[in-house]
Amino acid sequence: MCENKKIIPVAIANTNVKIELTIFGESSTEETVFELSNAEAIANGEAPFQIKEGCFYEYKITDGFCLDLPDIVSQSKVNSSSGRISPNIYVGTLTIGILDTAKRKCGEIKLEVQSVKTSYREDYRHMLEEITEKCMDLLLQHSSPVSQFFEVDFNADANTLYQRFAFIKSILDSEEFNDSVHKILSSPVTRWKDSEIEKDIRSVRRINNSALRQIAGASNRIDLPVSHPLKSTLHSIPAKIKVPYKTETVDTPENRFVKHALSSFLSFIGEFRAKLNDSSRLSQEAVSLEDKLCQFLDHSVFKEISPPITLPLNSPVLQRKEGYREVLRVWLMFDLAAKLVWRGGDDVYSGSKRDVAVLYEYWLFFKLLETIKEVFKIDSSSIENLIEPTKDGMGLKLRQGKFLPIKGVYIAETRKLNIEFSYNKTFSGNNEYTNGGSWTRNLRPDYTLSVWPHGIEQQQAELEELIVHIHFDAKYKIENLKTIFSFNENLEEEKEEQKKGTYKRADILKMHTYRDAIRRTAGAYVLYPGSQSDNKYGFHELLPGLGAFAIRPSRQNNGTEELKKFLYEVVHHFLNRASQREKMSLKTYETHKDKISNQVNEVLPETYGANRNLLPDETFVLVGFYKDAEHLEWIKRQRLYNARTGSIRGSLRLSPKETGAKYLLLHSYGETQTSRIFKLKETGPRIFPKRDMIAKLYPNPSQEFYLVYDICEAENEFEKMTWDITELDGYTAHRGSGIPFAASLTNLMNAIVK
């Protein structure tokens, strides 16, 4: 048992009254209520009193007061000064209003809601920093639409300003930037500066023209002794003269640039903070950033550095020297970051929210895009369209719930493939089968990789079962693979979890839903910030498949190599034209291309063992002709059936249906109803010359060659069945009735004489 509660003192506005708010964590095994030191809270831009997301808390405030935050706080029906706090999946600073007996706001309390992931602070900072870098790379591309200048309007929408501030803060808070400034301060670039110093004339070693002029005319002179060699020329000399002197200084163009860059950053942050409420978390973040910049500028190195006259952007020191080149890059990024507007950022950090799970989803988009671009060689022109000019700057189009496709063509030596990487692609549940979409309801995976042959449109590829979708879903809060794949789970416990709303395997079931419900889906995979990946094959090929990949917010070993390896295997899979998946897609297309399906409700042999492929629509019956009773007797005795070859009347025209027929149905002159059915051996027909037919005692052979089938008894299910051959497709009446033809088993069973 742990004491899972905190007592928080609260000051009432415009009074000296102080009340108390007591928060009780409902968990008795885990501490879910915390208090940080002021220093730690300020450093992280958070409220000192903290609770965990996804947990529940009871509270009690001093009688006569109550809390006001309808979505999070539910008051007790017995006592309005107590109730329950349910942060659910919210992460960030909660500002809860305090109301007096007249229901007027008289104060507020700030609670920080921690993410269930212990590394969320570092993850949040790292992911925002990397997203900023990716956006800056897009803006810096030579063909990017950044061709006009924008001034930052500090009277603009507050959300827009904070989006820009978030980008800038991610740059200035990065370890790389801080390390770079420290390297400059510890080892700044210096130069030698010429200056003058007064020296005793007796210690001057070198005499130049300036020294001679001073000897001749300078004041504060002393008389030369009579014995001095120059007495006859000079009566006196100055006691001191000015001589050149070189000093080392840090006042270089490069250091002036660094000071200018830091001052520019400080000025922007100051203007931003002036637009904020002094007590807001954003203001505290801005103050913390200002303090850091002021500490840099207060360093003794910058004391003697003068303002820049020009910006030496082409300086080899700025471009190459460690520390300086990073500051130059940050300065260039800073200017662009101040112009970048990201409406999708509202989902991540609007107000006091820090939705690290949504940020992970955005960060993964760039990681997947980077990997897919490398593997499938997607042209960068479509990627550049992620940035578009807006009325107040440059807009990043990435936004949760908004469809964003990136298209390209993968070109290999043996095949060209269309590639589409989509964010938030919706698969509609209202479309008919042949179109793309879902079986039942609308589904929208986070990311979808679609691949289909080059040369046809996506809609046609859907119709012909030639497109393949592979889905990925971001799951930041999954801890490990055991949460997803649990092989020894207790199904009774699973049911109990479902009742409690704590079901742990919903994520993998969602992947099953994507794979099974979205048409032409060959794979669905969870992406989570763990350490283990697992890819399960549906059969014995890579696709169809299901699994999880561990992609972590880290600059080293973030897990994308495992994903990249998988995507290269996907490439090889699509280049294999004999894959089982290709066969399955063709069979699916052939099965469902016609909306009207045939029906066979008669008794047939079961489809197992040797008859496993006995599908009525794909099983064919050769309808053959026998001349007379002697011919029929020879057929039964020799277990052979012969047909004429060549171009004469009555010869068999060969097609896959005739050569691959599984059954033989015999009839004779004027015989339109027959029950004489045999099974053909799967070895196929052979060519017999006339001499072989004579050796087989064939009566009166008249042809030079015959096509001969091996036959055996048909299954018992066909006993007592009689068929009307005039009802079969391909039957020709009168003299043409003796010409052999093939009909499907479906057609045959529908021609049964009842």
Q: Tokens 């820009």 belong to which residue? A: 164
* Whether residue 184 is found in the same domain as residue 267: yes
Of 259, 263, 264, nearest in space to 301 by CA: 259
Confirm if 224 and 235 have CB atoms less than 8 A apart: yes
> Between these two residues, 91 and 664, which has the higher pLDDT value?
664
Residue 667, C-beta contacts closer than 8 angstroms, at least 6 positions apart: 623, 624, 625, 626, 674, 676, 725, 737
Of 407, 386, 281, nearest in space to 342 by CA: 386
* Whether residue 241 is found in the same domain as residue 261: no
Kindly tell me if the per-residue pLDDT of 503 is higher than 60. Answer: no
- Count the domains in the chain: 5
Of 624, 622, 623, 637, nearest in space to 699 by CA: 637
* Whether residue 566 is found in the same domain as residue 708: no
pLDDT of residue 500: 46
* Domain C-terminal end among 323, 338, 353: 338
* Whether residue 575 is found in the same domain as residue 648: no
> Between these two residues, 141 and 264, which has the higher pLDDT value?
264
Q: Please report whether residue 370 resides in a domain.
A: no
Q: Cα–Cα distance between 372 and 378 in angstroms, integer?
A: 7
Q: Please report whether residue 375 resides in a domain.
A: no
Q: Please report whether residue 123 resides in a domain.
A: no
pLDDT of residue 592: 84
Confirm if 403 and 423 have CB atoms less than 8 A apart: yes
Q: Cα–Cα distance between 145 and 336 in angstroms, integer?
A: 12
Q: Cα–Cα distance between 470 and 535 in angstroms, integer?
A: 13
Neighbour-count burial of 696, counting CB atoms closer than 10 A to its CB (0-12 exposed, 13-18 middle, 19+ buried) = middle
Q: Cα–Cα distance between 375 and 368 in angstroms, integer?
A: 10
pLDDT of residue 697: 95
Confirm if 241 and 221 have CB atoms less than 8 A apart: no
| Signed CA dihedral, 560, 562, 568, 573: sign only | negative
Of 129, 118, 45, 93, nearest in space to 529 by CA: 118
* Whether residue 68 is found in the same domain as residue 181: no
Q: What are the tens digits of pLDDT across the range 708-743?
A: 999 999 999 999 999 999 999 999 988 788 889 999
Q: Cα–Cα distance between 98 and 61 in angstroms, integer?
A: 9
* Domain C-terminal end among 86, 114, 142: 114
Reduced DSSP (H G I as helix, E B as strand, rest coil) percent helix, strand, coil of the chain, to 5: 35, 25, 40
pTM assigned to the model: 0.80
* Whether residue 692 is found in the same domain as residue 651: yes
pLDDT of residue 146: 41
Q: How confident is the model at residue 227 (pLDDT cuts 50, 70, 90)?
A: confident
What number of other Cβ atoms are within 10 A of residue 562's Cβ?
A: 15
What the block records as the tokens of 208 is: 């130049």
The SS3 assignment for 411 reads strand
* Domain C-terminal end among 552, 586, 620: 586
Residue 212, C-beta contacts closer than 8 angstroms, at least 6 positions apart: none
Pairing of strands 66-68, 73-75: unpaired
* Whether residue 168 is found in the same domain as residue 201: no
Q: Please report whether residue 181 resides in a domain.
A: yes
Q: How confident is the model at residue 694 (pLDDT cuts 50, 70, 90)?
A: very high
Q: How confident is the model at residue 92 (pLDDT cuts 50, 70, 90)?
A: confident
* Whether residue 635 is found in the same domain as residue 737: yes
The most distant pair of C-alpha atoms in the chain lies apart, rounded to whole Å, by 163
Q: What are the tens digits of pLDDT across the range 129-148?
A: 888 888 877 776 634 444 33
Confirm if 561 and 568 have CB atoms less than 8 A apart: no
Q: Please report whether residue 126 resides in a domain.
A: no
pLDDT of residue 495: 57
Q: What are the tens digits of pLDDT across the range 622-651?
A: 999 999 999 999 999 999 999 988 766 667
Q: Please report whether residue 11 resides in a domain.
A: yes
Q: Please report whether residue 343 resides in a domain.
A: no
* Whether residue 643 is found in the same domain as residue 675: yes
pLDDT of residue 148: 38
The SS3 assignment for 293 reads helix
Long-range CB contacts (within 8 A, 24+) of 210-217: 210/242, 210/244, 211/241, 211/243, 214/238, 214/241, 214/242, 215/241
Q: Supply the range of the domain harboring residue 690.
A: 609-749
DSSP 417: E
Instruction: Give the relative orientation of helices 281-297 and 253-274 as an angle to the nearest 10 degrees.
Output: 160
Q: Cα–Cα distance between 357 and 400 in angstroms, integer?
A: 12
Q: Cα–Cα distance between 444 and 534 in angstroms, integer?
A: 23
The alpha carbon of residue 597 and the mean position of all alpha carbons in its chain are separated, in whole angstroms, by: 40
109 strand-pairing partners = 96
Residue 73 φ/ψ region, left for φ over 0, alpha for ψ in the -120 to 50 degree band, beta for the rest: beta
* Whether residue 568 is found in the same domain as residue 635: no
What DSSP line would sit under 444-499, residue for residue?
A: --SEEEEEEETTS-HHHHHHTT--EEEEEEE-TT---HHHH--TT--HHHHHHHHH
Element (H, E) at 695: helix 690-695
Residue 583, C-beta contacts closer than 8 angstroms, at least 6 positions apart: none
* Whether residue 614 is found in the same domain as residue 729: yes
| Signed CA dihedral, 234, 239, 245, 250: sign only | negative
Q: Cα–Cα distance between 210 and 201 in angstroms, integer?
A: 13
The SS3 assignment for 666 reads strand
* Whether residue 512 is found in the same domain as residue 437: yes
Q: Please report whether residue 31 resides in a domain.
A: yes
pLDDT of residue 150: 41
> Between these two residues, 604 and 496, which has the higher pLDDT value?
604
Instruction: Give the relative orientation of helices 120-140 and 324-337 as an angle to the nearest 10 degrees.
Output: 80
Mean pLDDT of 9-30: 88
